[in-house]
């Protein structure tokens, strides 16, 4: 691939990312999302308001997508449990986690034992409502705090789920930002989780912020493909419709999830583990927070399972703050805005932004002259042989030059030198300006 | 190579391996073996009794085999030393280690000094008779305990060796067990050591047990070539007669030696160190006994010296219990059935059996569908999203599937997952049964 | 490459290397050297006296050499500072480090403040005169001890530099020692430093000694190209004139610098880090002094900057005693014969000599027979099976043979065996003599 533009210098972000993200997240939080239905459409409408060129797509229920079938659409109108007096003791309208996702309709009186078979709580977190779904098997159920469950008296209860499963569509959003080449960077995030903040509103809102930043750039080397999809069935559907194009064009990408709390940074590799995405993620995280957590492919759990599956083989890695499954509020009503903060979201954004910038800047350069250039005659080299001055000014430039052999890319050189690629780019800029470096074929 | 059969599930062994081995070893123990002669033939006759299709071969003395010549056959009728009264104080008939192997004939009276030049004992093990041979230089000598040697009085002694060297043959046994392919696994063991148990009756008897197990299998992917030979000259002879065939067909193999004591497990690599045999041996031993001893090629000392020599280059590794040269009873009369036990032999057998099973099962598989399969519709996936249930049931299956890209073999996948290949095979079996996996070209 | 001669056995050096080097260094020490001028010519004349076939070359000022231009020649006739009484308080004739190299002419009275702007001293080493140059920017200046600088009274001073810059030549010396092949080993050292001993008279004098040793050898596998050049501009000039030839022929080489003190050994890699030169240097140093200092390419600072620059890519590594920049006397008047000693020079010579011998001997051999050879019939193998005797005598030979597969070179085999290549060569010599080994194509 030819590199035919200046390197991407660190850009000013022209909006307050943390605030933008938290405000958008708070708007989206109350919407009840599942893998299909009105909640997904409402969420996509909010996102399109931010990104007007977003294309909202639909695929019909019953469509075969590889080994799967697009499910019926699930409509939920109301769901509650009353006690014998008619008092709603569990009410989906109070907290949408109370209902097991994709619950089938029910309207009946049960005694406590019968009801209990349909209740879900977590004794280890007695004040949290757990998040439970049953997409592909017909059931109904309610989730509640373990404390509440233990307080239920042996009495009669009225359980009502006013839901419906019918032919409909699976929705997703797709945004294409063209670049200088047709090679693509894929960003994927999911919009199928109800009211939880880190997993998963942080992913969609940070992805919207990344899209806004990318749109503000004076030039982009790569084309960006940004998808907002339901997890698993969404990525499978999207892959089934775009596999050839994606395999031909995607050179890097990230699954954007769990990027909202301010506690740690995490990395989960692609299956290959050594793609450009992995290299960029590891490079960036090492310089942001050397003690970031490294997970392995064995710890995977989101759409990388599809993107990196055998035969699909896309180079998708994951940069996170606290990883799904690894923080105590995960998949409960406690995953709220006490967990996800402006600082947390801004940090998640920044790590991904730097990873993208790393990939944009990861060219292979070679010197246009043999031996070391005479920087002195260009005013770039202090002529007096003071070691100290030399060390402070142009040692990094000379080191960088010495590695620019046209074979090593800048990411490899930055790793060899132990410096962030952004500093390397700065050190090389004067040499580029003098025409002493030229791109070599990637 | 095409894989066209079900995987080899762990098989029931239909005989008591430890007992079988110890009984056969005790039968073979008293026979006086050397690299040629009647002892070898008697030993092979016992083995043929267990393995009726064993082919007993012979090569004439004087035959050129690479840089060597098949030696004359050595006949030994009697050997002893008497004191001046005629009392036999060293008698080959009491313990056949008393005689230096391939001793030339002698019948003469000597004083103690003269006799002493022909005596061998080990001051570090004063109660053990050492094992000494002199195949390619004409000598005679007697071995005795150091205690006995020190008790000899300065007197006259009568030394008699009634031996003969004459044109004859070198014998060995060869058993071929055909499999689904002409690719071969070579098992080689040696039958040239007199009355010692670990080094070396354990090798031949465990090899007989392995052959019986292999013959009992419903199918074998590979053809098995099992040879019972004298060490060094035997393997050189066998290679000189079969080199092209072996280089073309042998994909893995083991030199079976020192597999009888119950003290530790050991591994000695092929010269290459990374052949299929090495990978299988390391994998199996790691799961049997993580603290097994790893030797290097520099520690070699048996027929791998020939099988792996430059230009021969066969992939032969060695799995042992206590390695030759590394246990105190080695090459002495103390290497007996206090060292070699039923448990020791059964453990040696089991490690080799698992290594062979590993190679039989080491196929490359690839998914027949893209993305993760929907296991739920096949009843293979608990639909409810309880992490715990998921972890306990099909996480290993999903992990295994995610690596089945047709490039990695199952051994590599088992290593990546940190599980024995046998567990991996079990986890993949339901997926194979559903037709979701197919073999790829090796 | 074909190997068509006996291995190079360790050779007797027919002169006292340490004494030879120190005497030559003391002769060259007083000469005032810079990158051009009479001092370089005088130095080369001394070297030619030792190496009569040395070819002394010149390149005209103004010649373009890659990104650089050969500078004007600098003539220095006198340089001093007097106090108001006319007393010379700084005199270039007392110590030639007093003058900043390439100082432009000056003849004027200055007060202390004005003078001070032209003075250089080092507060951290108050009794040392620092070494300062200004090749490519017009300045004048004097260097002095910090103690002297602080003692100067606020008075008038007369600064005189009687120098001249004019069209002239850049000189260097080149010695070619033909070998059995046209493949070359390059030795490069620099002759542009004034009166300092380790950096840099040790390099030129050790290189002269190496050349004398190489000329004394009965045969050389490689052709040797030995250059005595001014640093940086000299290597750039030499490369610009010989690039194609060097890239085609040079298989290994060393930049010879800082090889004179007896304090430690150091290694600085080529840019590639894994060339034959690097392998030989690491092998030799490991066996001379296991705790030798390993620098990285980031620590480079001499002509390897040019030889290994992108597009030049020569396999040049550096073996040193105390590295430039890393010892306290570096680039001061203290770098004298209290630092550089006979022992230090002899040790630097010996490390480089062994590295060269390693490269000469680094052939690929293969056995001419299959399986282990029968050494006994050739009188090379003790026939009696005593392990101890075996271990002491021919275990190393047998190990070496087992690795001679025609693919591994002797350096790799020596590393595998953990022995110096010189011992490996000795162990293989009897086998070579028997015709059991033959060279394979490199």
**Min Cα separation B262/chain C (Å):** 25
The pLDDT of residue B376 is 84
What are phi and psi for residue C414, nearest 5 degrees?
A: -60, -40
Cβ separation C403–B310 shorter than 8 A:
yes
C68 contacts on A by Cβ (under 8 Å) = 371, 374
pLDDT in tens, B342-368: 999 999 999 999 999 999 999 999 999
Interatomic CA distance for residues C394 and B147, integer angstroms: 31
Only one residue has tokens 């947390």, namely: A344
Q: What's the mean per-residue pLDDT of chain B? A: 94
Tokens of A237: 């559907």
Cβ separation B369–A271 shorter than 8 A:
no
Q: Across the beta sheet with C88-91, what order do the strands follow? A: C88-91, C73-82, C156-166, C106-111
Which letter, b or e, does each residue of A303-337 get, where b requires 16 or more Cβ atoms within 10 Å of its Cβ? Answer: bbbbbbbbbbbbbbbbbbbbbbeebebbbbbbbeb
Return the higher-pLDDT residue of B393 and A240: A240
pLDDT in tens, A30-60: 999 999 999 999 999 999 999 999 999 999 9
For residue A424, what is the DSSP state?
Answer: H
Strand partners, B78: B162
The pLDDT of residue B391 is 64
For residue C200, what is the DSSP state?
Answer: I
Query: Nearest 5°: CA angle at B390, between B369 and A324?
Result: 95
Which letter, b or e, does each residue of B191-221 get, where b requires 16 or more Cβ atoms within 10 Å of its Cβ? Answer: bbbbbbbbbbbbbbbbbbbbbbbbeebeebb
- Select from 1.20.120, 3.30.70, 1.20.990, 1.10.10 the CATH code of A365-439: 1.10.10
Which letter, b or e, does each residue of C190-215 get, where b requires 16 or more Cβ atoms within 10 Å of its Cβ? Answer: bbbbbbbbbbbbbbbbbbbbbbbbbe
**Min Cα separation C440/chain B (Å):** 12
Q: CATH topology for B364-439?
A: Arc Repressor Mutant, subunit A (1.10.10)
Interatomic CA distance for residues A87 and A108, integer angstroms: 15
Summarize the confidence of residues C204-227 as an average pLDDT: 96
Cβ separation B383–A137 shorter than 8 A:
yes
B212 contacts B35 by C-beta, under 8 angstroms = no
Cβ separation C405–B239 shorter than 8 A:
no
The pLDDT of residue C383 is 55
Q: What's the mean per-residue pLDDT of chain C? A: 94
A253 contacts A314 by C-beta, under 8 angstroms = yes
What are phi and psi for residue C346, nearest 5 degrees?
A: -65, -35
Q: Which of C66, C132, C313 sits opposite A369 (nearest CB)?
A: C66
C387 contacts on B by Cβ (under 8 Å) = 325
B389 contacts on A by Cβ (under 8 Å) = none
Q: Across the beta sheet with C184-190, what order do the strands follow? A: C55-60, C169-177, C223-229, C184-190, C250-255, C316-320, C266-268, C293-294
Cβ separation C385–B134 shorter than 8 A:
yes
pLDDT band at B384 (very low <50, low <70, confident <90, very high): low
Cβ separation B310–C367 shorter than 8 A:
yes
Residues 6+ apart with CB under 8 A from B195: B29, B30, B31, B32, B95, B96, B97, B333, B336
Cβ separation B311–C367 shorter than 8 A:
yes
Q: What's the mean per-residue pLDDT of chain A? A: 94
pLDDT in tens, C253-308: 999 999 999 999 999 999 999 999 999 999 999 999 999 999 999 999 999 999 99
> Would you list the domain boundaries of chain C?
17-70+169-361, 73-166, 365-439
For residue A195, what is the DSSP state?
Answer: S
Q: Which of C370, C373, C383 sits opposite B134 (nearest CB)?
A: C383
Interatomic CA distance for residues B80 and B82, integer angstroms: 7
Residues 6+ apart with CB under 8 A from B250: B183, B184, B185, B186, B225, B314, B315
Interatomic CA distance for residues A182 and A302, integer angstroms: 27
pLDDT in tens, B166-184: 999 999 999 999 999 999 9
Instruction: Note whether C117 contacts A: Cβ–Cβ < 8 A.
Output: no
C227 contacts C293 by C-beta, under 8 angstroms = no
Please give the ipTM for the structure prediction: 0.91
Strands C106-111 and C156-166: antiparallel
Local structure of C235: helix, strand or coil: helix
What are phi and psi for residue A51, nearest 5 degrees?
A: -125, 85
Domain pair A17-70+169-361 / A73-166, same fold: no
What are phi and psi for residue B152, nearest 5 degrees?
A: -70, 135
pLDDT in tens, C387-396: 666 666 688 9
- pLDDT value at C3 more than 80: no
- pLDDT value at B12 more than 80: no
DSSP string, C283-333: HHHHHH-TT-EE--GGG--STHHHHTSTTT---EEEEESSPTTSSTTTTBT
The pLDDT of residue A386 is 59
pLDDT band at A380 (very low <50, low <70, confident <90, very high): confident
The pLDDT of residue A385 is 56
* Cβ pairs B/C, distance under 8 A: 70
Q: Which of B33, B16, B28 is closest to B74 using CA atoms?
A: B33
Q: CATH topology for B17-70+169-361?
A: Aminopeptidase (3.40.630)
What are phi and psi for residue A352, nearest 5 degrees?
A: -70, -40
Residue to test with chain C: of B138, B295, B310, most C Cβ within 10 A: B310
B68 contacts on C by Cβ (under 8 Å) = 371, 374
pLDDT in tens, B198-256: 999 999 999 999 999 999 998 899 999 999 999 999 999 999 999 999 999 999 999 99
Indicate the range of A319-333, A378-392, C42-56, C425-439 predicted with least confidence. A378-392
C174 contacts C51 by C-beta, under 8 angstroms = no
Strands B316-320 and A364-367: unpaired
Neighbours of chain B (3+ CB pairs under 8 A): A, C
**Which residue of C lies nearest to B130 if distances are taken between CA atoms?**
C386
The pLDDT of residue B3 is 45
**Which residue of C lies nearest to A413 if distances are taken between CA atoms?**
C298
Q: How many CA atoms lie within 13 A of B432 on its CB side?
A: 19
Q: Which of C66, C28, C100 is closest to C234 using CA atoms?
A: C66
The pLDDT of residue A384 is 53
* Cβ pairs A/C, distance under 8 A: 69
Interatomic CA distance for residues A172 and A188, integer angstroms: 11
Residues 6+ apart with CB under 8 A from C405: B271, B310, B311, B313, C366, C367
**Min Cα separation B419/chain A (Å):** 12
Q: Look up the CATH number of domain A73-166.
A: 3.50.30.90
Angle separating helix axes B17-28 and B342-361, nearest 10 degrees = 120
User: Chain B 404-433, CB below 8 Å of chain A: which residues?
Assistant: 404-406, 417
């Amino acid at each position: 691939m030819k590199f035919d533009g200046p390197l991407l210098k660190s850009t000013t972000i022209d909006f307050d990312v943390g605030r933008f993200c938290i405000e958008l997240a708070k708007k989206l939080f109350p919407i009840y999302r599942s893998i299909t239905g009105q909640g997904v459409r409402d969420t996509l409408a909010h996102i399109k308001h931010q990104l007007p060129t977003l294309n909202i797509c639909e695929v019909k229920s019953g469509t075969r997508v590889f080994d799967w079938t697009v499910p019926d659409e699930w409509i939920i109108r109301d769901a509650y449990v009353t006690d014998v007096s008619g008092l709603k003791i569990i009410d989906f309208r109070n907290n949408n986690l109370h209902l097991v996702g994709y619950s089938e309709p029910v309207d009946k009186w049960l005694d406590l034992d019968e009801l209990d078979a349909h209740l879900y709580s977590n004794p280890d977190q007695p004040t949290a409502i757990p998040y439970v779904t049953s997409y592909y098997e017909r059931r109904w159920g309610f989730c509640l705090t373990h404390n509440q469950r233990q307080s239920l008296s042996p009495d009669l209860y009225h359980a009502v789920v006013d839901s419906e499963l019918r032919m409909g569509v699976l929705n997703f959003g797709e945004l294409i930002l063209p670049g200088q080449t047709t090679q693509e960077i894929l960003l994927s995030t999911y919009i199928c989780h109800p009211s939880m903040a880190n997993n998963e509103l942080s992913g969609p809102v940070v992805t919207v912020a990344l899209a806004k930043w990318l749109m503000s750039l004076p030039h982009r080397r790569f084309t960006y493909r940004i998808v907002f999809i339901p997890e698993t069935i969404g990525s499978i559907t999207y892959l089934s419709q775009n596999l050839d194009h994606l395999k031909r064009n995607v050179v890097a990408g990230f699954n954007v999830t769990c990027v909202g709390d301010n506690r740690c940074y995490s990395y989960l590799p692609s299956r290959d583990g050594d793609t450009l995405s992995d290299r960029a993620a590891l490079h960036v995280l090492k310089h942001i927070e050397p003690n970031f957590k490294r997970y392995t492919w064995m710890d995977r759990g989101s759409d990388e399972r599809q993107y990196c599956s055998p035969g699909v083989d896309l180079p998708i890695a994951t940069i996170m703050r606290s990883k799904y499954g690894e923080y105590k509020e995960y998949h409960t009503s406690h995953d709220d805005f006490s967990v996800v903060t402006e600082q947390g979201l801004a940090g998640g954004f920044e790590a991904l932004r730097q990873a993208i910038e790393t990939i944009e800047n990861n060219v292979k350069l070679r010197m246009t002259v043999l031996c070391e250039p005479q920087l002195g005659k260009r005013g770039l080299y202090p002529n007096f042989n003071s070691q100290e001055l030399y060390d402070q000014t142009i040692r990094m430039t000379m080191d960088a030059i010495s590695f620019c052999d046209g074979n090593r890319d800048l990411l490899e050189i930055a790793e060899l030198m132990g410096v962030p690629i952004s500093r390397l780019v700065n050190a090389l800029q004067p040499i580029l300006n003098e025409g002493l470096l030229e791109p070599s074929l990637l």
